[in-house]
Structure formats: structure tokens, C-alpha cells
Structure 1
């Protein structure tokens, strides 16, 4: 699936009013926190990483990101491409050496 196609399809489920950006921002923070919590439980509490739940929560983060971009009239493909361009510039040889 292309990023812009995802953005358009995701927008079909957006419900909001004049405070839609606030709702999207709070939702993004909340869903990101759920991703972080799953990783924390795996890393520090010895729990198994629930791939199904992680995938679901990451999808929710993706939805919120796509809709913030939609609200700002930014094609989601542009977000992805600019990020890859930035990473290629920052790490021209690939992965960073730690």
C-alpha cells in the first residue's frame, strides 16, 4: 500500500470538529505511550513481546500520524520521503556505528 493511499483511506474514519488537531495530537501521544509500554514490559519486566498487540498499536500510531499530515495538507508520501532523505544524509554509509 502506498502512503498517500493509506492516508486517504484512514481519513474516511476521522471524526472531529474544530478541535480535531488537539484530538489527533492527544491520540498520537496516547497510542505512542502504548507502544512504549509494550516495549518496556518486554525489556524490563521479562514479558514476551506481543507482536499482535505491538502491530495493532503501531497501526494506531500510523493512523494518527497520517491524519495530522492530512490536517496540515501534507501528503503522507512526502513525510516518508523526506525522512528517508534525511536519514540518507545523516547516515550515508547506512547504519550508524556505536
Structure 2
């Protein structure tokens, strides 16, 4: 699935009113916090990093990002493509073919 297809499919589940942008921005912070909390528990409490739970929470983050992009009339593929271009510029390929990315 490409990002634009995802964005269109995800948009069918969006409910709300004129406060859609605020809802999505706040939802994004909440779901990002869920991802961070899973990693915190893994790092500092020696909890197992549950693959399925992490996939679920990352999916929730992706949904909110796609809907903010939808609200702003920005194709989600454009967001992904622009990000990769900026990363390639910021972190050009190393001579050994390995990139060290510290975002």
C-alpha cells in the first residue's frame, strides 16, 4: 500500500467537526506518548517490547499523521517523499554504504 492509498482509506474513519485539526494534533501527541511509554518500559523497566502493541501504537501515530496531512490537503506520499529527500541530503551515503542516522 502506498501512502496516498493509506491516507484515503484512513480518511473514511475520520469523524468530527471543525475541530478536526485540533483533535488530530492532540491525538498524535497522545499516541506518540504511547510509543514512547512502551520504549521507556523496555529501556528502564526491562519489560519485553511487545511487537504487536508497538505495531498498533505506530499505526495510531500513522493514522493521525495521515489525517493532519489530509486536513491540510497535502498528499501523504508528498510528506514521505520530501522527508526521504531531506534525509538523503542530511545523511549522504557513506563510502562503506552504511548510513548512521541520528534524527
Structure-2-length-normalised TM-score: 0.92
Bigger fraction of residues in helix:
1
Aligned pairs for 1:11-90 within 5 A: 11-90=11-90
Counterpart in 1 of 2:3? 3
Q: CA deviation at 1:96?
A: 2.9
Counterpart in 2 of 1:95? 99
Q: Distance in 2 between matches of 1:56 and 1:80?
A: 20
**Per-residue CA shift, 1:36-78, capped at 9, x if unaligned?**
0000000010000011000000000000000000000000000
Q: Distance in 2 between matches of 1:56 and 1:96?
A: 27
CA contact (8 A) 2:32 2:61 kept: yes
Structure 2 unmatched runs, 5+: none
Structure-1-length-normalised TM-score: 0.96
The change in CA–CA distance for 1:97 and 1:83 in structure 2 (over 3 A counts) is closer
RMSD: 1.3
**Per-residue CA shift, 1:4-62, capped at 9, x if unaligned?**
00000000000010111000000000000000000000001000001100000000000
User: Per the alignment, in what secondary structure is the counterpart of residue 79 of structure 2?
Assistant: helix
